[in-house]
Structure 1
């Protein structure tokens, strides 16, 4: 599957008083990395809305394993890839390295959603368009 890598420098505001990245900040980085993954594959979040008529790709499950801490000024590399695509959901794996060592493994499940045709005030899952599947299958 298609993979995207990006370097992230840890900022002062990412850290707790012990100068270690406060773990929820990583989940914001993973969210940005999923957006970057879609954009790098040629399908930005804007495309999801304007081309495919979707509302978004909310996260429905997430977890992470932390091995090595990061501190202010460190540069980490986040490698993101879609591991599995289902009818309306997909699974993303983020591997974070620091100085070439595995620092974090994170996993998320997201669902494509659009407006419910029967009640536009509600959201409803939407099938992953074949064009998007093709973009991520090219590896």
Structure 2
């Protein structure tokens, strides 16, 4: 299974007045981590959209469990992986570590979306290309 890791230093602007990362900032980091993971696997989101005639790959569900807070200057490691694929969607998990300790577990569901061939003004889910499934599940 393809796994991507990246180190991120917490910046002043990530934190609230108590110097703890304001939780929506993590979701921005997770969104970036998904894009970076796809690029590292050889599939930039822009290329996927263009190659397969998609409109985008929106997030339709997200949630997180927070265990350990982070503050300005901390270094965290975000480990991202695609856990499963369905016809037009996929599940991503992000695990955030502070050193060896698990700080956050986050989950997102994304769907590939294109124009509906029957009505181009409408959007419709699109199948996940097999080459993407193979790369992520086989590494």
Q: TM-score, normalised by structure 1?
A: 0.97
Q: Which residue of 2 aligns with 1:134?
A: 134
Q: Which residue of 1 aligns with 2:111?
A: 111
- In the TM superposition, structure 1's runs of 4+ consecutive aligned residues that sit over 4 Å from their partners are none
Q: Which residue of 1 aligns with 2:21?
A: 21
Deviation at 1:41, TM superposition (A): 0.8
Structure 2, unaligned runs of 5 or more: none
Specify the SS of the correspondent of 1:81. Answer: strand
Structure 1, unaligned runs of 5 or more: none
Q: Which residue of 1 aligns with 2:64?
A: 64
Q: Which residue of 1 aligns with 2:121?
A: 121
Deviation at 1:25, TM superposition (A): 0.4
Structure 1 window deviating more from structure 2 (111-120 vs 90-99): it is 111-120
Q: CA RMSD in A?
A: 0.8
Separation of aligned partners in 2, 1:100 and 1:121: 49
Aligned residues: 139
Do the aligned residues in 2 keep the contact of 1:48 with 1:55 (CA within 8 Å)?
Answer: no
